[in-house]
């Protein structure tokens, strides 16, 4: 697992580098690694001066920009619990999140509907340096579950808060960077907002681990950036739309119920389109197709990556390859309970029940076929299964993580 030394080392190793790290506005400034390191230090001092430290709760209600990146990384480094919220979200959703989080400080862009029930400061997303933060004494809340990033498992669904520690976040980010062979010459394009887990882990943190650059926000939506992307992480609906030229690969996180990546997308993009299976409760990537020349299998989401995957029947017994059941996962990046909640119907003997239906083939490739009923009281209701290859029916039922 990766912890504080890794995050510090990543920032310190590139503190003097003028290489680009993040572009969020094609007409705006480029956030370099040197500016990022300085910004994280400045934000760390400002948060500490305001009485925020281990376990303090920080809500970032900012659009993507230098301030967002520096504040987010400073919060992770300082053992705060940070929740990055979309300022464009409906006011009711934002306020529900804030009411449940009970933040010690809200940093919001002007016009964000955050209400007035907690300490707050307004900041332009294009800023880098922190504003003067309100000081209110010691607001630390140390504890075993008090730091990291807080995200919602289903942003448009029921309240299921996922707390991912800094080691978990960096562990998954390093997996993604290694699996996609990312390096300093790469420029990623994120089709997800930075308030989304995909934007935070596969976008920002995997970029930091690889020493590469990232286009996000407006820079990922329209052309004109000083950098040309070499790879992209896109939602299925966008990956199936107008392609971009010159990419070496496109990564498409997919779960049953979404638009399924199609074989003809590769011809349109002119590069491999790799399907990935990402689960918020695992910090993101669970399984993924590998870049060429590694083999791929039609209909599969690839092999598990650093995560143990097992398929179970309705009574919890594990099933052999080829037999459809519910996909269960466990590993270093997988949570053991939802934040602030003690019920465990989706957590069993160290495993997390994803609610996805699927099966493993004899070589460990995972195929997703549908969804169980999404809510816990309707756990055994089956959603329509997608078309799939005919399964075979032999072999062990557990495939350990591939890495």
Report pLDDT digits (tens) over 4-15: 448 989 999 989
Confidence of residue 221 (pLDDT cuts 50, 70, 90): confident
CA end-to-end span of the chain, whole Å?
13
Specify the range with the lowest mean pLDDT, choosing from 215-224, 261-270, 284-293: 215-224
CB < 8 Å & 24+ apart, contacts of 369-377: 369/256, 369/324, 370/256, 371/255, 371/256, 371/257, 372/326, 374/154, 374/157, 375/158, 376/345, 376/346
pLDDT at 389 over 60: no
User: Could you tell me the fold of the domain covering 4-166?
Assistant: Rossmann fold (3.40.50)
pLDDT at 163 over 90: yes
257 Cβ neighbours under 8 A, 6+ residues apart = 371, 383
Give me the CATH code for the 234-399 domain, please. 3.40.50.12780
Distance CA 301, CA 253 (A): 9
Distance CA 163, CA 227 (A): 33
Annotated domain spans of the chain:
4-166, 234-399
Q: Where are the alpha helices (DSSP H) in 118-245?
A: 166-179, 197-198, 206-210, 218-221, 236-239
- Please write the tens of the pLDDT for every residue from 74-120: 999 999 999 999 998 889 888 888 999 999 999 999 999 998 888 88
The 10 Å CB-count burial string (b at 16+, else e) for 56-71 is bbbbbbbbbbbbbbbb
Q: Strand, helix or coil at 309? A: strand
Instruction: Give strand pairing partners of 152.
Output: 161
Domain 4-166 identical in fold to domain 234-399:
yes
Is residue 119 within 8 A of residue 35, CB to CB? The reply is: no
Distance CA 212, CA 245 (A): 19
Q: What predicted TM-score, i.e. pTM, was given to this entire model?
A: 0.89
């Amino acid at each position: 697992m990766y912890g504080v030394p890794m995050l510090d080392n990543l920032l310190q190793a590139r503190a003097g580098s003028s290489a680009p790290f993040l572009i969020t506005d094609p007409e705006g400034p480029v956030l370099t690694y040197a500016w990022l390191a300085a910004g994280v230090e400045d934000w760390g001092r400002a948060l500490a001066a305001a009485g925020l430290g281990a376990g303090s709760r920080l809500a970032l209600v900012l659009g993507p920009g230098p301030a967002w990146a520096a504040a987010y990384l400073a919060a992770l480094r300082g053992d705060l619990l940070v929740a990055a919220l979309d300022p464009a979200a409906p006011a009711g959703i934002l306020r529900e999140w804030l009411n449940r989080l009970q933040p010690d400080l809200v940093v919001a862009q002007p016009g964000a509907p955050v209400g007035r029930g907690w300490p707050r400061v307004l900041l332009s997303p294009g800023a880098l340096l922190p504003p003067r933060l309100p000081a209110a004494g010691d607001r630390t809340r140390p504890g075993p579950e008090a730091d990291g990033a807080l995200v919602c498992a289903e942003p448009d669904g029921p309240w299921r808060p996922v707390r991912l520690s800094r080691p978990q976040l960096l562990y998954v980010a390093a997996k993604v960077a290694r699996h996609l062979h990312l390096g300093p010459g790469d420029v990623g394009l994120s089709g997800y907002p930075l308030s989304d887990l995909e934007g935070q882990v596969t976008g920002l943190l995997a970029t930091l681990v690889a020493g590469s650059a990232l286009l996000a926000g407006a820079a990922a939506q329209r052309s004109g950036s000083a950098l040309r992307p070499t790879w992209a992480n896109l939602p299925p609906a966008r990956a199936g739309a107008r392609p971009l030229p010159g990419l070496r690969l496109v990564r498409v996180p997919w779960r049953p119920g979404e638009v399924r990546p199609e074989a003809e997308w590769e011809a349109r993009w002119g590069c491999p389109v790799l399907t990935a299976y990402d689960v918020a409760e695992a910090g993101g990537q669970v399984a993924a197709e590998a870049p060429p020349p590694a083999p791929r299998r039609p209909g599969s989401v690839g092999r598990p990556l650093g995560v143990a995957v097992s398929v179970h029947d309705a009574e919890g017994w594990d099933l052999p390859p080829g037999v459809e059941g519910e996909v269960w996962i466990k590993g270093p990046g997988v949570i053991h309970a939802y934040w602030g909640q003690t019920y465990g119907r989706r957590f069993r003997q160290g495993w997390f029940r994803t609610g996805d239906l699927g099966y493993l083939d004899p070589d460990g490739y995972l195929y997703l076929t549908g969804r169980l009923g999404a809510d816990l009281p309707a756990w055994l209701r089956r959603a329509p299964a997608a078309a799939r290859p005919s399964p075979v029916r032999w072999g062990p039922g557990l495939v350990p993580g591939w890495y």
